[in-house]
Amino acid sequence: MGVLEILGYAALLLLIVAFTMKTIIPLRAFAMAASLAIILYGAFAPHVGILAIGVVMALVNLWRLTEMRRLVGAVRVASGAPLTVDWLLPYMRPVDIPAGHVLFSKGDKADAMYFVSSGRVRIDEMDLEMSKGSIFGEIGIFSSDRRRTATAKCIEPCSLLLITAEKVRELYYQNPRFGFYLVGLITERLMHNAKELKKNPSASII
């Protein structure tokens, strides 16, 4: 068996292995190796067409592999990096709410998430108060029907920062750091709600 045959079979075998991979990085790595085998085949043949195909395949796979490794790196950093409200400020707008105003009621469309700059917001169903530094309203945005499951009322004049549900979902899909932050926030909220449900079976989530 000659060198060209070995290279041809090697390229074919590497492509087959690449197609069997279940995760993207190993797939791209084997596809890169197959591309290199095709380049060598085209160089030794010599065959300009096959060489060009191999180069294009190698460049595309290298680009995609680099993108994926960058994304994985960003996710690793995001999973351990704290997120402050300062990062969200460009996407939020301030709203001032008077005391006694119902911000949203149970069953309303979940169209925003809120950060409390000052004041207090009460969630009656959870016997819970949101004060300065609290974020609330995130669970309804990701619920199946995207409806509020509790009522939020300002029990004193409040200064809030509002971010729309559409922007929250956009940032969730585009930014791993924000996605991990939301997952942590929702998990913490659900754990709190689980404790409250044990005390009060009629309690709700927000």
C-alpha–C-alpha distance, residues 150 and 104, integer Å: 8
Most confident of 26-40, 151-165, 178-192: 151-165
Length of the chain: 206
For residue 75, what pLDDT is reported? Answer: 46
| Residue of 178 and 122 predicted with greater confidence | 122
User: Which ranges constitute the DSSP H helices of 84-206?
Assistant: 85-88, 138-142, 165-174, 176-199
For residue 112, what pLDDT is reported? Answer: 93
pLDDT exceeds cutoff 70 at 157: yes
pLDDT tens string 106-141: 999 999 999 999 999 998 877 788 898 888 888 888
Q: What does DSSP assign to residue 147?
A: B
For residue 171, what pLDDT is reported? Answer: 82
pLDDT tens string 68-113: 677 555 545 544 545 556 677 778 899 999 999 999 999 999 999 9
For residue 143, what pLDDT is reported? Answer: 82
How is domain 85-199 classified at the architecture level of CATH?
A: Sandwich (2.60)
E strands, 39-172, in order:
93-97, 102-104, 112-118, 121-123, 128-130, 135-136, 152-154, 158-164
For residue 32, what pLDDT is reported? Answer: 87
pLDDT exceeds cutoff 90 at 200: no
Q: Where are the domains of the chain?
A: 3-80, 85-199
Is residue 9 very low, low, confident or very high in pLDDT (cuts 50, 70, 90)?
confident
For residue 79, what pLDDT is reported? Answer: 45
